[in-house]
Structure 1
Amino acid sequence: MFGPNWFASVMGTGIVATAAATLPVQVPGLHAFATVMWLLAVLLLVAVLTATARRGVSHLDDPVLMQFWGAPPMALMTVGAGTLLLGPGEFAVAADLVLWSAGTLLGLVVAVAVPFRMMTRPELAASPDAAFGGWLMPVVSPMVSAATGALLVPHVGDGRDLLLACYAFAGISLFAAVIVITQIWARLVRHQVGAARMVPTLWIVLGPLGQSVTASHLLGRAAEGVLPDPYASGAQMLALLFGVPTLGFALFWAALAAAITIRTVRAGLPFSLTWWSFTFPVGTVVTATGGLAARTGSPVLTVLAVTFFTVLVTAWTIVATRTLRSNLWRTAPGQGSARSRSSRVAQSEAVTVGR
């Protein structure tokens, strides 16, 4: 079965390109690296969309995989942002408009539909210890709309309405994310870490945090010449006064998640598609710190952005290699009967969905 969680690989690859393109340092070959990663993300998006159309299933009755319907819209918008930053001229703007519009519409539907389904279907009722990072996936998408939409504001005729819409999208995601993060914290304190295979999803918490800082920075920059004062100046102030404290909490959570992950790795951390949670959320911290570094000129934030970028590239390399190796092993000849291969695939999928 092919589920929406595969779009996380597109998100994780696309954010490497975006982070490289916006890193607040100039390194020889960095732009070329960003372009290669963007092209790879485009190819992955096409491949995953094709596979989903051919053999994908909805998983809407699965309380875990259902959450990952937040990944397809974010994959579309991540590739769109990379296209705008790295693609050719007018084509890049047109392509990003299409991808952003499709991703935003789908993301808004998912942000409402998934929580609604959880609230109205008794068979999907969650136990007290069920909250996990994946619950953030449906509600993070509007924040991605806000951040990537800010990049489009200078390219549309009257950017005011788009700018205001992006602020509204940020509000949807921010308040919903606070509610979910609170539940995740309560679960960790009351019921401990839980299954090892779900530990990588703790890193998803960085997604709304880093992306909200990125969105506030980009929206503040986009407000210049679009909103009248004092609102344009207020948007600039908000970018810093909101961004720095939120980044502080993101770093706190990164340290906590890293400690739990290291502890789990020592005990044994099985590979699954949840490992892609090590990529996109970390990438949002790169764009967040990079934006604040560009805004303030802080050398500390610049070093922090480069450090997190190094972590991101390392994580992507490991996860991409393990994903490729896992799928090549599944399809390699001479691995036993079809029945045994089916059994291995079923076991791998069970790990993937967290059962």
Structure 2
Amino acid sequence: MADTATSSSPASSKLQHFPIAFFAMIMGTTGLTLAWQKAAEVLQLPALVSQVMLILVACLFLAVCLGYVLKILRFPEMSLKEFHHPIKISFFPAFSISLLLLSVATVQVSADLSLYLWAVGCVMHLGFTLHVITQWIHHPKFQIQHSTPAWFIPVVGNIIVPIAGVTHGFVELSWFFFSIGIVYWIVLKTLIFNRVLFHDPLPEKLLPTLFILIAPPAVGFISYTKLNAGEIDGFARILFYSAMFLVLLLFTQLERFRRIPFFLSWWAYSFPLAASSIAIQTMYLKTGSSFFGLLSWVSLVVASLVIALLLFKTFKAVRSGGVFKPD
């Protein structure tokens, strides 16, 4: 009887439904930390801001990891259910992406820590990529309505690897991961547009994931400039302006997104906006254009305000238990 009471307690219920999508929050907040690190270099803003943010993000990452580890230990069947879910499976690689982003954020603090995070993140993300693609190929459970922009996470996340990889001297390995991400970005983008254009529209809960479309070309631009010794060539410009078009396209639909009630899927806004801010600042640094300078400030402010709002909304939802409910 005691075990039954314990398993049905509010705390136990929250743990049972602790969503893997929480790691998208780590991606977004780490991305914003990197945007402020870039702003300290490009816009001459205080480095202290990004340093404080990095400490807070590290604590948040550890808290989310602890929560999900406890869920695995207490409710392994629920974790396995998520892992085999045709949509939720795409959020498991958000953990390895978080490691890769933290490796970028810590490279100035500790090269050894950054290398360790990068190495573990690479191995884990390659494993997730192989597993997810294998699931897509061999399992008949996937249907057209399961395809969402969240599918970009496991495969296109490979594009992040070169950002720290080049710094640590792994140039060819970085090209390997970059190639996977870019090629399969094109494949997946075609599939997602086919789903959006010719099939039932995305459910309201998943509409924010459309912002994930921004991330591959924006991060691709950042990674490619790293691989290309900082040069902005024609391909870099294609990636950059593709991302900017998607930002413009989605911002013209703000009224549609504004009407959506809060879900954890709102965190899909965060990392793409942070990545586009870094990309714009990089373009400003390389070209010196006053237009990109103005856009750098605007993009950083927008990303900061959006992620601050997301943290506030998430904190309220955690307190009320709104994010710990079965779908």
TM-score interval, smaller chain: 0.7 to 0.9
Change (3 A) 1:175 1:104: same
Cross-structure match for 2:75: none
Cross-structure match for 2:29: 13
Shift of 1:185: 1.5
Cross-structure match for 2:219: 211
1:126 aligns with 2:143: yes
Is residue 38–residue 82 contact of structure 1 (8 Å, CA) maintained in 2?
Answer: yes
Cross-structure match for 1:71: 94
Change (3 A) 1:287 1:151: farther
Cross-structure match for 1:282: 273
1:54 aligns with 2:73: no
How far apart, in 2, do the equivalents of 1:132 and 1:169 lie?
22
Is residue 104–residue 163 contact of structure 2 (8 Å, CA) maintained in 1?
Answer: no
The alignment partner of 1:144 has SS state of helix
1:166 aligns with 2:184: no
How far apart, in 2, do the equivalents of 1:310 and 1:345 lie?
27
How far apart, in 2, do the equivalents of 1:262 and 1:96 lie?
40
With 302-311 and 184-193 compared, the bigger mean Cα shift is at 184-193
What amino acid does structure 2 have at the position aligned with 1:46?
L
Out of 232, 237, 249, which is 1:256 matched to? 249
- Number of equivalenced pairs: 303
Cross-structure match for 1:309: 300
How far apart, in 2, do the equivalents of 1:298 and 1:279 lie?
26
Shift of 1:15: 0.9
TM score, norm. by length of structure 2: 0.87
What amino acid does structure 1 have at the position aligned with 2:123?
L
Out of 283, 291, 313, which is 2:282 matched to? 291
How far apart, in 2, do the equivalents of 1:313 and 1:151 lie?
27
**Which stretches of structure 1, 4 residues or longer, exceed 4 Å deviation after superposition?**
none
Cross-structure match for 1:138: 154
TM score, norm. by length of structure 1: 0.81
Is residue 86–residue 146 contact of structure 2 (8 Å, CA) maintained in 1?
Answer: no
Shift of 1:188: 1.9
Shift of 1:261: 4.3
Cross-structure match for 2:115: 97
Cross-structure match for 1:337: none
Shift of 1:21: 0.8
Shift of 1:172: 0.3
How far apart, in 2, do the equivalents of 1:261 and 1:189 lie?
19
How far apart, in 2, do the equivalents of 1:144 and 1:4 lie?
20
Cross-structure match for 1:36: 52
With 182-191 and 37-46 compared, the bigger mean Cα shift is at 182-191
How far apart, in 2, do the equivalents of 1:262 and 1:281 lie?
19
Is residue 67–residue 134 contact of structure 1 (8 Å, CA) maintained in 2?
Answer: yes
Cross-structure match for 1:320: 311
Out of 198, 205, 214, which is 1:197 matched to? 205
Is residue 274–residue 300 contact of structure 2 (8 Å, CA) maintained in 1?
Answer: yes
Is residue 104–residue 141 contact of structure 1 (8 Å, CA) maintained in 2?
Answer: no
Deviation readout 1:121-141 (Å, 9 max, x if unpaired):
22x2212x4321101010122
How far apart, in 1, do the equivalents of 2:314 and 2:102 lie?
20
Is residue 73–residue 104 contact of structure 1 (8 Å, CA) maintained in 2?
Answer: yes
With 184-193 and 211-220 compared, the bigger mean Cα shift is at 184-193
The alignment partner of 1:279 has SS state of helix
Deviation readout 1:94-136 (Å, 9 max, x if unpaired):
11011000111111111111121122122x2212x43211010
Deviation readout 1:294-343 (Å, 9 max, x if unpaired):
1222222222222211111011011111001100122xxxxxxxxxxxxx
Same amino acid, percent of matched pairs: 21
What amino acid does structure 2 have at the position aligned with 1:114?
V
Note the residue ranges of structure 1 that are not aligned, 5 or more in a row.
153-158, 223-235, 331-343, 351-355
Change (3 A) 1:215 1:345: closer
Provide the aligned C-alpha RMSD in A: 1.8
